[in-house]
Amino acid sequence: MRASNKINFGARKKIKQVGRMDLPGGGLVAVQRAYAYVGHMDPPYGTSIINVRDPKHPKLVSQLEVPEEIHSHKVRIAGDVMLVNYERYGDNKEAQGGLKIFDISNKAKPREIAFFKAAGKGVHRFTFDGRYAYLSPTMEGYVGNIVMILDLKDPARPEEVGRWWLPGQWVAGGETPTWQRTAHRCHHPIRRGNRLYVSYWHGGLVILDISDMSRPKMVSHLDWSPPYPAPTHTTLPIPWKIMDRDILVVTDEEADKLSPKPQAFFWVVDITEETRPIPISTFLLPDGGKSVPGNRFGAHQPAEQVRGNTLYVTWFAGGLRAIDISNPYLPREVGYYVPLPGKGQKTVQSNDIFHRDDGLLFLIDRFNGLEILESDL
């Protein structure tokens, strides 16, 4: 992609489209066997379940709706259990946020079995390993989202196991934040072993020891915003060593920035000595123009399903980028795919990506469209 305000829509390098369907804009796509699950950005659309057995012809199976004041843009599944977030949308302070749990043994008729309620705005993002959910709720007495672990051994009766917050968030306990409003807040916890890797927005990233889930303990904390302007979005641990080092891939988000430039980075962080995380490289695309509301250009979200040293990362108007970290000191782009704008749109906003074990890629746009892709990488 050239350094230009113009996006080369429909461009591809080593990644090609297999199938596509018009679909309301989504925040996350998760795939389990023959079904894709999409959490949507805007009400009344909540969650769509799509049959992708034939990837050339995806078919909508069912679609949950949400109230106009609710944002339900994230979804995770394990077996016949589906979790979706409920987050307050707009100024209606009466809207109830939290985490809804569904039985999806009948994909055509998801059945709600529990609702874990949160205070304030509700739940933003979360992960789920089939037993525990790791989420970012707002809770009474705290400023901004915190880390929470829920036990779903009985999905109909979710139980809080433990919580953690950045010192300064617990105002009801006498703490005082040193930042403005909710700038430091939990965004996205990801588990590997007995560690949680947590993005904390303008609070940087945190590594937590959850050997005792009832008492998470901070191992380390690294914050680079400021001086860098973009907030930390995702902290993704690589399951194997690369060049004999333990690696954490971090994406910032092209949103809520402290200054317009530079665009949000893709970072590689050495966590071999986990008490002292060290950024060792970054990756940027040539400047794609000024990010404005509705048309962002910059890093966002990697596929959390790591299948090798080539990672697939959404870049909003920059589409999908394939980044090889075989040399973690020098990440390089080895492929890309920039979709055509979806129905009624003038730009793309590639938002989330899922990498299935058979190699297929599922790309959801923030505005419109689910694309199923294959890669030669």
What are the tens digits of pLDDT across the range 70-89?
999 999 999 999 999 999 98
Q: Is the pLDDT of residue 373 over 90?
A: yes
pLDDT given for residue 288 in this prediction = 75
Query: Is 239 inside any structural domain?
Result: yes
Q: What percent of the chain has pLDDT over 90?
A: 92
Residue 46 resides in a domain: yes
Give residue 123's pLDDT. Answer: 98
Is 252 among the domain residues? yes
Q: What pLDDT score does 6 carry?
A: 57
Q: What pLDDT score was predicted for residue 5?
A: 42
User: For the whole model, what pTM was predicted?
Assistant: 0.96
pLDDT of residue 92: 82
- 170-187: per-residue pLDDT in tens? 999 999 999 999 999 999
User: pLDDT tens digits, residue range 184-212?
Assistant: 999 999 999 999 999 999 999 999 999 99
pLDDT band at 1, cuts 50/70/90? very low
**Model confidence at 101, in pLDDT bands (50, 70, 90)?**
very high
User: Where residue 4 falls among pLDDT bands split at 50, 70, 90?
Assistant: very low
Identify whether 44 is preceded by a cis peptide bond (ω within 30 of 0): yes
In a domain? residue 84: yes
**What pLDDT digit, counting tens, does each position of 283-332 carry?**
999 887 778 878 899 999 999 999 999 999 999 999 999 999 999 999 99
* pLDDT of 2 above 70: no
- The pLDDT tens digits for 32-64 are 999 999 999 999 999 999 999 999 999 999 999
Whole-number average pLDDT of the chain: 95
pLDDT in tens, 329-359: 999 999 999 999 998 999 999 999 999 999 9
Q: 6 in a domain, yes or no?
A: no
CATH code of the domain covering residue 163:
2.130.10.10
Q: Which of 128-142, 256-270, 282-296 has the lowest mean pLDDT?
A: 282-296
The parent domain of residue 226 ranges over 12-375
Task: Establish if 340 belongs to a structural domain.
Answer: yes
In a domain, 2, yes or no: no
Residue 5 in any domain: the answer is no
Domain count, the chain: 1
